[in-house]
Structure 1
């Protein structure tokens, strides 16, 4: 009985001892150590683990754009989302009377644990905190709020540490985090001032700072100077931050950004030195090292160095670990070959880059490179298809590079339209000129090739449906792997349906592909196949060949007009005189309508004159002087020393145009023409000259006859065909010709 009472007394004593030691009101060694241990190894441990998971998740989710300068801190915050504390207290715990919601995010849980540590284990006795882990709890609280984009509450937590624990071991780290939070809310000047005070060299202060703190401080200063666009200061602090490289992730990132800054300033040698340092940094994450190799290739200008770099690129390509970087590596190989004028090798490398599933942005650069190469070689149709691919792939429609490509694509659209028209009409006219027997032979060969392709495509589709997924596993694959296709009822049913859709309901006989083998019992299938069989009907193709002379003449006229327009586009818009000559000389040889003869000769004269080919230029010059001696074109040839120097400023030209335009609106048409004739010799190099010429033509049309009006419009249409004024003149001429 005595033993029983003794046990009770001991149990009660132990309970009271535990309760006594848990109290945060009395400052004793037992209480301090108990609360400190519980804070460090229980509450804070769990909070820091959750915080670490949150940071790891951000790093995994964040995708760097290697075509742009990387941000120093790899985290993307939502703009204008700054949450202000409503607590009124430095720590910012909120109103304890309100219902507290359970945290679900890693940073929310970390903050929750930090608050719990402060509230349950804080031993603030007579204004002095006796638990040496509470400053860690406040730092965790501020950092968690920082990553949740609650910068002002984070600053409150950091300020509380600095004010309450001025001699804590983590005070320097806290000051750096407070500076970063200030940078995020555009208080970069305050951040710079506080960080300079931290690392200021005064009585050997900086030498006493741990290397890790110095790295963090200089990195934060670089962040602040990025916001102020002080690039030299950014470089200065990145250089200091990368002296020791204790933090392998941030150190590698700082080196990469430093190299990018040198590259942007065209200091290629300095950039290469920095990127080489990164390549040789053994602890650096691999993504930085592989992109540093690519940047070295980008920044090398020495021809002899490119050979060694190509060897390096190919060795990286052969490394299996670099599979996910192959699109970027092959692209850079293409750039190196292009720099060496090895166009064929460059195209080959760019096409290989496209084969690998890399980033969308990389594809846009590769498509653009291929488009530019074809454009340079005057293969505009092919170039346009690559520019179209850029626009199809890209999602960043506001990007200046994409907008420039879009403009280039639109400029090529009219050229493509006319080139396709010429190809189409040439083909039709060629077939129309054949004998009946030759026409039938031509289309029969076409039908035979079409059948072969259709059969191959259908067989390939059936093979893919039947066997293609036996290795990958989709909805058609049997759950029992390795079994034959025909044992899978779902795959069999799907394949049968697709076969009937393509070929109709065929009997199981030899030569099942022939239309005579169709099972006509199924009227729906029969209709489908009959519609399909018209693709193989020779008579249906023969019917499409034009036989009417008027229709054939229209095809010729349209083709000739397209060739003329192409000549103008190549001459004026693309400055491609070779193709301009080809198109214009061809249309000249095709007996064009008389309205085109003068402009064709005029443009060919101008082209050959610019190429200093006097013999050729004389041929077209003589045509104009003999057959069109009274035209303005002949006058220009006869008076080559006319004043063409622009003698008035652009704003004065605009003012003059307005004055003349008001004369036209006031029905003073003759005065409009005379005033225009006065100004035209002085503004030959002005962009507004087409406006004056069109206005003059309109005025002539108001008081002279139809022929004079038409002649004036033709001059505008010929000389300024690609301008808005030229297009309007063409439209009016078309109306007058009806």
Structure 2
């Protein structure tokens, strides 16, 4: 009996001991045994697994991140929720594991680390509010100063990504006064350099990086930071210092692409630093022959184009850049930047605006929306769409007016010469294109037998200005010079087809075409005379036709000036264009507005600014533009509350007190210039003018509003008002 009772006592004692032990290991206990137990459990279970998940996720995101070497490389990689999508399960698991420490190991020394890991995971997933809250919790309640500093460094990085630079600077100021460990100091320096880089303060950023490099070990990440530093020195014009860091890239185990781009950028700087350096000695030919550079040949040609442009060798630059496009093999971003470079050269150096527009179209079609240049390129493309249209009108009317001033015999000879030059150019272009096509197909005979064989390598023609030009040549060869009109295929004009064209045997057709090209129009033939009469019909030979041509030219020049001034941001060209309008059309209907725009276009310290202001106030003292330019005491004493002012004027309007309301709004309108309600006040002014000054003044006010506020939300309404006013005045 006693023997059977002893095991029972032993078993009960064991249970009691276990209960006491567990009670002593409570997560809220401060006893050494309890703390050690939770330290071990937190570190080697939950936190360890969460940390592994984070390391694997960050490695995968780094591998997936695609560097854009045409852009300034960010010192720290972005925390992008899109980039984190493939590793979302890993990050969610890291959140789950790190949360266990917060729930079950409150007295563990790994609690702060777990909260930092939790916050970082949420930031990667785009859960900014929760992520920031976790990091702020560590700063407010953390027990370890080093962990608190690390949380603040990560918080600072989050502020930078959200472009909250003021808060980021506040955190940086606090951290700069704290004693930091070596690893924390490294991370702080990198984050602060990143802050100044993203804020455009490159000199401060590189100064911080210079202090950081001794703290960094050799690695791919160190190599890309050297590359970023070199790029910022390039931005500052410090090319020798930039090359120092480009050389450091290759000393820090870079990826092949990173090493290649650092070498290319260094070569560019060498040429800038040594203007007499022979480009043939740089080694571009060797790079192009290197099989490892097969996918980077477009960048080699791109660099050659940049260097040729730097030396004012514009034709060579264009040739190299076009070779870069042809050599492109899937690097869409590089091709987009090549298109942009060609667009800029054609606009600035060659003034070939239509070709420039075509290259901008091509760049915009393939440029990623997230790159900083996208919005600028889109705006410039829209501006050039309008610019090319107006520029074509000006050049066309200029040419036609010069022809109209010639005597009849000279005019006929000139028209014949134009037709002859057009035909010669068409035949030459066609012959060159066909020879090039024949050479290309001879190099790849399979494409003749099966034209669709390499269709996957073909670019859409509208993306490539070269193919667009070739398409125009082919169209003219088949259909002639056709106007843009309905049913153009039904014209009675005889077609000029290529002899020997046999679709069943494309190779024979190409050979025949290359050997015998269309001879073109023959002078004296009916077709030649038809073309002659068609061109002559466009020339403004009568007074009415010449007046119409002058009006088209005047309107186009005025529109060009505004495009230069507001869309292309080229005030100097806008000024020249506006002054040309005043010179060629002294009685232009746009004179008061042009005076105002010239006043706006000059710098404040330029004496011409005051001159145009005086002319406007002298010649058009009662115009809207004179009121806008005036700094009257009435406007200066305005209450400053546009909503209340509008309500007061509108109340006068609704009460039928139109004259007083109009006087008030015209007196105070300059005070609202540039404000969000400016066009609303101007719209009410239009209504009041209609009530006070009659239909003719009302129509002029509508036209004036449409010129002054082309982007106003009220514009559709104004157009309806203009149409109705025209009908009521019997103009339609």
- Scaled by the length of structure 2, the TM-score of the pair is 0.54
- Tell me by how many angstroms 1:666 deviates: 5.4
Write out per-residue CA displacement over residues 249-275 of structure 1, whole angstroms, 9 at most, x where no aligned residue. xx2244214653796799989986654
* Equivalences for residues 287-686 of structure 1 within 5 A: 287-294=257-264, 306-307=273-274, 315=282, 317-320=284-287, 321=290, 324-325=295-296, 327-328=298-299, 344=312, 349=317, 352-356=320-324, 357-358=327-328, 359-369=331-341, 371=343, 381=353, 385=357, 388-389=360-361, 391-460=363-432, 462-464=434-436, 466-476=438-448, 493-497=505-509, 513=519, 537-547=531-541, 549-571=543-565, 576=570, 578-591=572-585, 595-599=589-593, 611-613=606-608, 621=615, 625=618, 631-632=622-623, 642-643=632-633, 652-661=641-650, 663-665=652-654, 667-680=656-669, 682-684=671-673, 686=675
Instruction: Judge conservation of contact 1:477–1:491 (CA < 8 Å) in 2.
Output: no
- Tell me by how many angstroms 1:558 deviates: 1.8
Answering whether residue 251 of structure 2 is matched by residue 280 of structure 1, we say yes
Write out per-residue CA displacement over residues 530-554 of structure 1, whole angstroms, 9 at most, x where no aligned residue. 99x6798434434444555433322
User: 5+ unaligned residues in a row in structure 2: which ranges?
Assistant: 1-59, 102-116, 136-143, 147-152, 161-167, 173-184, 192-211, 451-500
The structure-2 alpha-carbon separation of the partners of 1:642 and 1:335, relative to structure 1 and needing over 3 Å to count, comes to farther
Which residue of structure 1 lines up, in the alignment, with residue 9 of structure 2?
none
Answering whether residue 239 of structure 2 is matched by residue 255 of structure 1, we say no
Q: Distance between the aligned counterparts of 1:374 and 1:727, measured in 2?
A: 36
The structure-2 alpha-carbon separation of the partners of 1:360 and 1:377, relative to structure 1 and needing over 3 Å to count, comes to same
The structure-2 alpha-carbon separation of the partners of 1:608 and 1:260, relative to structure 1 and needing over 3 Å to count, comes to closer
- Tell me by how many angstroms 1:574 deviates: 5.5
Q: Distance between the aligned counterparts of 2:368 and 2:584, measured in 1?
A: 46
Write out per-residue CA displacement over residues 403-427 of structure 1, whole angstroms, 9 at most, x where no aligned residue. 2221233234333332221112222
The structure-2 alpha-carbon separation of the partners of 1:81 and 1:606, relative to structure 1 and needing over 3 Å to count, comes to closer
* Equivalences for residues 115-130 of structure 1 within 5 A: none
The structure-2 alpha-carbon separation of the partners of 1:695 and 1:378, relative to structure 1 and needing over 3 Å to count, comes to farther
Q: Distance between the aligned counterparts of 1:407 and 1:336, measured in 2?
A: 28
Instruction: Judge conservation of contact 1:347–1:370 (CA < 8 Å) in 2.
Output: no
Is the radius of gyration larger for structure 1 or structure 2? Answer: 1
Write out per-residue CA displacement over residues 502-541 of structure 1, whole angstroms, 9 at most, x where no aligned residue. 89xxxx9x9984779xxxxxxxxxxxxx99x679843443
The structure-2 alpha-carbon separation of the partners of 1:408 and 1:398, relative to structure 1 and needing over 3 Å to count, comes to same
Q: Distance between the aligned counterparts of 2:120 and 2:223, measured in 1?
A: 20
Q: Distance between the aligned counterparts of 1:678 and 1:75, measured in 2?
A: 52
Q: Partner of 1:344: helix, strand, or coil?
A: coil
The structure-2 alpha-carbon separation of the partners of 1:662 and 1:549, relative to structure 1 and needing over 3 Å to count, comes to same
Instruction: Judge conservation of contact 2:571–2:601 (CA < 8 Å) in 1.
Output: yes
Which residue of structure 1 lines up, in the alignment, with residue 685 of structure 2?
696
- Tell me by how many angstroms 1:676 deviates: 1.2
Instruction: Judge conservation of contact 2:357–2:385 (CA < 8 Å) in 1.
Output: no
Q: Distance between the aligned counterparts of 2:632 and 2:80, measured in 1?
A: 65
Instruction: Judge conservation of contact 1:609–1:617 (CA < 8 Å) in 2.
Output: no
Aligned residues: 535
The structure-2 alpha-carbon separation of the partners of 1:235 and 1:474, relative to structure 1 and needing over 3 Å to count, comes to farther
Instruction: Judge conservation of contact 1:259–1:274 (CA < 8 Å) in 2.
Output: yes
Instruction: Judge conservation of contact 1:360–1:393 (CA < 8 Å) in 2.
Output: no
Write out per-residue CA displacement over residues 47-98 of structure 1, whole angstroms, 9 at most, x where no aligned residue. xxxxxxxxxx9999985433344887999997545687xxxxxxxxxxxxxx
Q: Partner of 1:469: helix, strand, or coil?
A: helix
Instruction: Judge conservation of contact 2:658–2:692 (CA < 8 Å) in 1.
Output: yes
Q: Distance between the aligned counterparts of 2:673 and 2:81, measured in 1?
A: 53
The structure-2 alpha-carbon separation of the partners of 1:710 and 1:433, relative to structure 1 and needing over 3 Å to count, comes to same
Q: Distance between the aligned counterparts of 2:63 and 2:449, measured in 1?
A: 33
Q: Distance between the aligned counterparts of 1:707 and 1:634, measured in 2?
A: 19
Answering whether residue 68 of structure 2 is matched by residue 65 of structure 1, we say yes
Which residue of structure 2 lines up, in the alignment, with residue 174 of structure 1?
none
Q: Distance between the aligned counterparts of 2:635 and 2:307, measured in 1?
A: 45
- Tell me by how many angstroms 1:689 deviates: 3.9
User: 5+ unaligned residues in a row in structure 1: which ranges?
Assistant: 1-56, 85-145, 160-176, 192-199, 203-221, 246-250, 479-488, 517-529
- Tell me by how many angstroms 1:557 deviates: 1.5
Instruction: Judge conservation of contact 1:428–1:545 (CA < 8 Å) in 2.
Output: yes
- Tell me by how many angstroms 1:402 deviates: 0.5
The structure-2 alpha-carbon separation of the partners of 1:272 and 1:242, relative to structure 1 and needing over 3 Å to count, comes to farther
Q: Distance between the aligned counterparts of 1:491 and 1:715, measured in 2?
A: 59
The structure-2 alpha-carbon separation of the partners of 1:261 and 1:667, relative to structure 1 and needing over 3 Å to count, comes to farther
